[in-house]
Amino acid sequence: MQRERNEKKYEFLYHIADAKFRAYGSTMEEAFENAALAMFNVMVDTSGLEAKELRKIEITSPDIKMLLAEWLSELLYLFEVDGIVFCEFKIERIEKTGEGFSLTAEAWGEPIDLSRHRFDTQVKAVTLHELEVQQDDGGFWVQVVVDT
């Protein structure tokens, strides 16, 4: 089980109308990075994408689950407004602060090009429904339901 999971960055779970996934990592940072990867793969196959454009992201949230939701929401925002489809993520660190939790990260991707990128349905938003951030023997796992 543990070895199996280490090979897997994320997996999709059943949801009738929206998309639900779990992402894994040996660190919480890695689990958050893989959650971002899972979210973009709901919309598009990111495997052929190149890391050409960089966006630096800083987020502070009252708790760790909200930090996860806000991290993904921020990426969605940049996807829509700056028109970048992201494929690589590097979270420097997730820290506990006085007010809650914070993260600093880099997100890499390429400008949306409809002649090359084949999008399925759009992720509209990151919900708080069944949102999880957990640690167990195998490392960290997070769970997210996104509205599609």
Partner 1 sequence: MPEERKDAASILTKVNDYTWDIPMTYKPGMRVPGRIFVSSKLLESLEHDTLEQTANVATLPGIQKYAMAMPDAHSGYGFPIGGVAAFDRNTGIISPGGVGYDINCGVRIIRTNLTADEVRPRVKELIELLFHEIPSGVGSKSKIRASDAELTDAFLHGAKWAVESGYGVKEDIEHCEENGYMKIADPSKVSEKARNRGKPQFGTLGSGNHFLEVQYVDEVYDEEVAKVFGLHKGQVTVMVHCGSRGAGHQICDDYLKILDKATRKYGIVLPDRQLACAPAESPEGQNYFKAMAAGANYAWANRQVITHWVREAFSRFFRRDMDDLGMNLIYDVAHNVAKLEEHVIDGEKKMVYVHRKGATRAFPPGHPDVPAVFRNVGQPVLIPGSMGTPSFVLHGTQKAMELTFGSACHGSGRVSSRAAAKREFYGETIQKELAARGISVRATHPSIIAEEAPGVYKPSEEVVDVVHQLDIARKVVKLMPMGVAKG
Q: What residue ranges bind partner 1 (CB under 8 A)? A: 12, 14-19, 43-44, 62, 65-66, 70, 73, 77, 80-81, 83, 112, 114, 117-122, 124-131, 145, 147-148
Least distance from partner 1 to the Cβ atom of residue 7, Å: 21
Contact of 77 with 142, CB cutoff 8 Å: no
Contact between 46 and 85 under an 8 Å Cβ cutoff? The reply is yes
- Measured over the CA atoms of residue 147, residue 30, residue 104 and residue 129, the dihedral's sign is positive
Give the residue with the Cβ less far from partner 1, 27 or 122. 122
Nearer to partner 1, 12 or 90 (CB): 12
Cα–Cα distance between 4 and 95 in angstroms, integer?
A: 29
Closer residue to partner 1 in complex, CB, 50/92: 50
